[in-house]
Chain A
Amino acid sequence: MAELFGNLIDGLTFVTGIIPILTITLGVIMGIIAGATPGLSPSMGVALLVPFTYAMSPTLALILLVAIYIAANYGGSITAVTINAPGTPSSVVTAFDGYPLTKKGKPGLALGVSLVASTVGGIIGTLILIFFSGPLAKFALKFHPAEYFALAIFGLTTVASLGGKNWIKAFIAAMFGLLLNTVGIDPISGVSRFTFGFSFLYDGFALIPALIGLFALSEIFKQLEGGDFSSQQVAPGKQEWPTASTYWKLKNTIMRSSFMGTIIGIFPGAGATIAAFISYDVTKRMSKTPEEFGKGSLEGVAAAEGANSSSVGGALIPLLTLGIPGSASTAVLIGALMIHDLTPGPQLFISNPDIIYGLLASLLIANIILLVLGFFGARLWIKVTTIPKTVLFPLIFAVSIIGSFAVRNSFFDVAACLAFGIFGWLLRRYNYPVAPIILGMVLGNIAETNFIRAVMMGGWTVFFTRPLSLGMLVVAAASFAVPLIQARKQK
C-alpha cells in the first residue's frame, strides 16, 4: 500500500507540471468537442490523435489520449441536452431527461448536473481503478459468456420500465433493434446474414447514424410538423443553474450510479451504454418520484452521466492489469502503447511504473480540469439553445450528415441516418419510444454471441447451472415483471 501511495505521489508530481497540465487541458478541450459532435465518438477522438502522439513521450501521449477519452464521454451529454442529439451512444440515456429539461426552458439544470455527475463519477471510477484493480480484474476474468448473456438480458429488461404504458411498442422497438443488429457478417459462424448481396451491409448498420437519425433528425421533423420553428428552444436571458443543495440531494444517485458504472465498465465489451441504461433503470425504481423520469428528472440525468463516466475507470482495469481492452477506446490506447514500443499488461507495472502511475494521476487531474472547463463552458454551450430554430435546424442537418459520413467514410451511413430519421419521426408520431431500438442495437451482438458461445462451451443448461448467471437472470426476470404488474394494477 505504501508503495502504491509513493508511486501515486510520484505520478501526481509529474502530471502537475506545466506541460502535462497543458496537455491534459488540450486533451479535455478536444475531447469535449469530439464527444459533442455526433459522429465523432470517444474512440474516434482518441484514434484520430494517435498519429499526433508519435513525437511525444509515451507518458504525455497517454495522458493526452486519456484526457480526450474522459472529456469525450462527458461531451456527448452536451448535445444530448441541448439539441437531443446524443454525441455518444452512452449519452442517449442523458437525453431522456436532459432534453425535456431544455424544452421546459431549464437546460442549465441539466448541463450543470451532467457535468458534476460526470466528473464525480469519473473520479470515483478512477479511485476504484487505483485501489481495487487487481481483485476486480481477477473477478472479471471469471465472467463466463453465460454471465455476459445474462447481463445483456438484464440490460434489455430495462425496456419494460422505459416503455411504461406503451410497453408493447417499447418491446417491438427493442426487438426491431435486435433484429437490425443481426444484419451483416455473423460474428460466430462467419456467414453473411440479411445482406441481400450488398457489400455495404456486411458490417451491418453503424450505431451512430442510427442514433443521430432516431434522436436528432426525428426531433427536428417532429418540431417542423408541429409548425413550431419560428422561435428559440429557450428564450435568451438569465438561465437557471443548479445550486449546491441540488447537487447534495443527488449525492446518493451519483454515488450509486458511479459504482455501477465502474463495475459494468470492467467487463470487456459491455461498456458505458449498458451501464447508463441499467443505472437509469435502477435509479428510477429507487426514486421517490419515478413519474418525473423521462420528463426532466435531475436524478435521471445524474444516473446516466455518473454511470457512463465512471465506466471509463472500469474499462481501464482490464487494459492495465491484463493488457486486454474493455472498450473500443481502450483498444486504441493499446495501439498507442504499442506504437511507443510498450506492451500493455501487468508487466508494465513493473517495467514502467512511471507511465502507469502518471496515467492514473492524470485521470484524476483530467476530471478536475474537466469540471473547471465544463463549468465555464456550460455558460457557452447553453447558448446553442437560444439559437433561433430556423438557423439551428439546417445546422443540425449539416452536423448529422457530416457526422454519419465520418463514422466509416461511407455514403451508405448518411443514407441510413436519413432513413432512421424518417423512420424515427413516424414511430414517435405513433408513440413508439425510439431509445429501445438503440438499446437493441447495442445489446444484440453481446446477447447473441455470448449466448452461442455459452451453449458451445457448456451446453444449453449452462445459464442455470452457473450461480452468477442464474442470479442475474432471476434479477432480470423480476425487473422485467415488476413494472408490468405495477402498470396492470394501476389500471
Chain B
Amino acid sequence: MKQVLNDAKVKYTLRAIGLIMLILAFLLLVPSVQAAFPEKPIKIVVYTGPGGLIDISARKFAGVASKYVDVNFVVENKPGAGGIVALKKVIQAPADGYNLYACTKSNIAKFVQVGGSDYLDALSWTAMLMADPECVITNGTQDLHQWPQIVENALQQPGEQNWVGPAAGGLDHVTALKIWDAYGMDAKWIPFKSGGKALAALLGEQGVAYVGNPRDALGNPDLHIAAVSSPERLEAFPDVPTFTELGMVGLENEYMWRGFALKKGTPPEVVQWYDALFKQVTADPEWISFWGKGGIDVKYVAEKEFTAQVKKDAEVFEYYLRKSNIIQGEAEGILAIIATGTTFNVLSLLLVLTWLSVSYGVYRSDYSAITGRVMIIGFFLVVSILFLVQSLNFPNGSAVGPAAVPRLWIFMLIPLNLLLLYKTFRNVAEISESGPRVDIVLNFIGFLVGYLLVMQVLGYFLSTFGFIIAGLYYLGYRKWRNVFIISASWILFSYLIFYKTLYVPLPLGTLFERIF
C-alpha cells in the first residue's frame, strides 16, 4: 500500500516538474517570439476617480483582455479637469503604446472647450468599444412624466421647466440642448455635481426631466425612461419608445461612446496589436453579457470611422458650447481688457510692488513691530483685488453669473481686512514677539524646496533617502545607525505600499528615465 502511494507520489512529482519546466520553457520562448510589444505592463489611463462607468469599463477591459494576451494591465486613475490631466499624462509620455487613454465623448466637450483642436489632434482615436444611447428619464410618481406631455408643457411655458443633470457643457447638457432645439422648446438646465445627485433631485420632484444613460434608471422603480435616442428600441428596455416613434426625426443617434485612444505617432505594429486585441475583447461573451444587461451597446469601431465621429462630435460641441456662452469669445470693453493678457500682468506687478513698498515703509516707520501683520493683511487685499479684476471678464450666467459668488466673498474680505488694518494700527502696543529661531524655519523651507527640485532629476526614492538623512542630521540627530535604518525603512515602506500596492506613480526622475 505504502509502495503504491509512493509510486503515485513520484509520478505526480515528475508530472509537476515536467509541467513547471514546460511553463518555464514557454515563458522563456514567448518573449523571444514576440519580443516587440508588449514587454512591460500597459497602463490604462482613466480620467475619473475609481468607480465611474469609464473606470469600470477600463477595469473590465483589463480583465477580459488578459484572457487573450499575456500582459499586465494596470488601471491608473488620473482625475482632473474633465480629462485634461489624464490627456497630458498620455501625450507627455513617449508614443510607444504603453499608455492607453480610456476616453469618452465627454472628453471631446472638454477638449474643445479648453484646448481647441490641439488636444484632439494629439491623440489617435484607436477604437470605440461601446455606445449607449442618451435618454430622457422622468420621475414616474410625478404627473408630468410622459414625453408628449412634457413637450406640451414646455411649449406652453417657455424657459420654466427645470431639467436636471450633470455639469453644464457636458454631453448630457448638450444633448438636452439638441432635444430642445429639435422641438423648438426652451427649458432650464440645472447642473448637479454628478448624475447621481441630479437623479436625487429628480426623485425629490425638483425637476421634470433628467438626461443621461438608460442604465441610470435601473435601480429605482420610480424612475421612468420617457424616450430614448436610438434608431430602434433597446433590447434591455423594450417598453421605452424612441424619439423617432414619438414623431421626431434627427434625434435617433445621440449617444455616449467610450473607447480607447493612443498618442499620435504610435508605431503601426503596436496599433495592429491593439486592433487585434480590441476585436477579440469585443467578441468575448463575458464582455458582451456584462454590458448587455445594462442596455449598453457593445461595438467595435476602428480608427478611421472613430476619428471621423470624433471630428463630427467636436463640431457639434463647439457650436452648442459657444451658443450657451461656455466657450468665451474675445474679451470686449475696457473692463475685460484690464482682466486679460499683458494689462493684467502689469497690474499684478504694480499691486505686488505697492504691497512690498508699503510693507517696507511700515517696517522703517515707528510701526515696525506690526510689519508682519500688515503684510498678511496686504496679501489678502492684493489677492482680493486681483481676483476681483479677473472676475470682470467672466461671462454672464442665466440667473446668477459665475462672478457673483466669488465677488460676494471678495466684498466681505476687503472690508474685514480694512477693519483689521485699522484695529492693528490702533493696538500697536500689544504685539507678541516672534520665536527665536526663524532662521531654522527658513533654512528648512529652502531645504524642502531643494528636495522637491532634486526629486525631478533623481526621482522620489533617491532624493527622499537623502532628504531624511539630511533632515535628521540638521535637527541634530546623530545616531548614524538609526539614521540609515529610519531612512531605508521609509523608502521601503513608500515603495511597497505607495508604489507597488497603491500604484501611486512616484516620479523616478528624469535621470533614471534617460538611462533606462
Contact = CB atoms under 8 A, between A and B. Distances in A.
A448 B391 CA distance: 15
A203 B472 CA distance: 36
Contact of B218 (A325, A331, A345, A455): A345
A57 B190 CA distance: 39
B372 A426 contact: yes
A481 interface: no
Interface stretch (B14-22, B24-32, B445-453): B445-453
B380 A191 contact: no
Interface in B352-397: 372-373, 376, 380, 383-384, 387, 390-391, 394-395, 397
B188 interface: yes
A171 B411 CA distance: 13
Contacts of A227: 435-437, 440
B382 to A, nearest CB: 12
Given A172-B380, A225-B434, A398-B467, A453 B293 contact: no
12 contacts: A141-B204, A179-B384, A191-B328, A191-B394, A202-B114, A323-B199, A338-B53, A338-B56, A346-B221, A347-B220, A452-B397, A452-B404
A332 B192 CA distance: 18
A393 interface: yes
B396 to A, nearest CB: 9
Contacts of B423: 168
Contact of A406 (B294, B394, B445, B498): B498
A361 interface: no
B204 A334 contact: no
Contacts of B372: 426, 429-430
For the residues of A in contact with B, the DSSP-based class is: helix
Interface stretch (A45-53, A115-123, A273-281, A377-385): A45-53
Q: Give the one of B321, B390, B406 with max A CB within 10 A.
A: B406
Interface string B422-465: 01000000000011111011001100110010000000100010
Interface stretch (B3-11, B130-138, B297-305, B502-510): B502-510
Nearest to B170: A190
Given A324-B200, A422-B445, A178 B409 contact: yes
A448 to B, nearest CB: 4
Contacts of A318: 200
A344 B114 CA distance: 35
A298 interface: no
B373 A456 contact: no
Interface string A397-430: 1100110011011110011001000100111011
Interface in A326-340: 328, 331-336, 338-339
A348 B468 contact: no
Interface stretch (B78-86, B225-233, B252-260, B275-283): B78-86
B193 A269 contact: yes
B219 A193 contact: no
Given A191-B402, A324-B197, A402-B498, A179 B113 contact: no
Nearest to A43: B49
Contacts of A331: 51, 194, 196
A335 B52 contact: yes
A463 interface: no
Contacts of B294: 343
A268 interface: yes
Contacts of A451: 400, 405
Interface of B: 49-53, 55-56, 59-60, 63, 75-82, 84-85, 88, 113-114, 162, 167-170, 188, 190-194, 196-197, 199-201, 203-207, 215, 218-221, 290, 293-294, 321, 325-326, 328, 372-373, 376, 380, 383-384, 387, 390-391, 394-395, 397-402, 404-406, 409-410, 412-413, 416-417, 419-420, 423, 434-438, 440-441, 444-445, 448-449, 452, 460, 464, 467-468, 471-472, 475-477, 482, 486, 490, 494, 498, 502-507
Contacts of B467: 394, 397-398
A491 interface: no
A455 B402 CA distance: 13
A50 B51 contact: yes
Contacts of A199: 81, 84-85, 88, 114
A475 interface: no
Nearest to A193: B402
A111 to B, nearest CB: 22
A207 to B, nearest CB: 14
Interface string A180-193: 00100111111111
Contacts of B391: 193-194
A246 interface: no
Given A390-B476, A422-B445, A202 B84 contact: yes
Contacts of B80: 200, 202-203, 408, 410
Given A193-B390, A268-B197, A335-B55, A172 B417 contact: yes
Given A189-B397, A324-B196, A455-B399, A347 B221 contact: yes
Given A322-B203, A324-B200, A430-B373, A172 B475 contact: no
B401 to A, nearest CB: 7
Interface residues of A, number: 106
A109 B59 CA distance: 44
A225 B51 contact: no
Contact of B206 (A145, A335, A430, A432): A145
A225 B219 contact: no
A246 B59 CA distance: 49
A349 to B, nearest CB: 11
Interface in A351-400: 388-391, 393-395, 397-398
A144 B207 CA distance: 11
B395 A179 contact: no
B187 to A, nearest CB: 11
Contact of A182 (B207, B406, B503): B406
Contacts of A389: 475
Interface string A33-48: 0000000100100011
B59 A339 contact: yes
B60 A190 contact: no
A464 interface: no
A199 B176 CA distance: 28
Nearest to A226: B435
Q: What are the 6 tightest A-B residue pairs by CB atom distance, in nearest-first order?
A: A345-B219, A335-B51, A394-B471, A190-B169, A202-B81, A225-B435
A193 B420 contact: no
B219 A335 contact: no
A332 B51 contact: yes
Given A189-B168, A338-B56, A394 B328 contact: no
A334 B77 CA distance: 17
Interface in A54-112: 54
Contact of B505 (A388, A409, A427): A409
B400 A144 contact: no
A362 to B, nearest CB: 20
A348 to B, nearest CB: 7
Q: Give the one of A196, A390, A422, A432 with max B CB within 10 A.
A: A390
A261 to B, nearest CB: 20
A445 B191 CA distance: 13
A411 B449 CA distance: 12
Given A48-B50, A179-B410, A185-B81, A225 B394 contact: no
A225 B438 contact: yes
Given A168-B416, A332-B50, A391-B472, 5 more contacts: A194-B406, A200-B80, A224-B441, A324-B200, A456-B398
A54 B220 contact: no
A222 B507 CA distance: 30
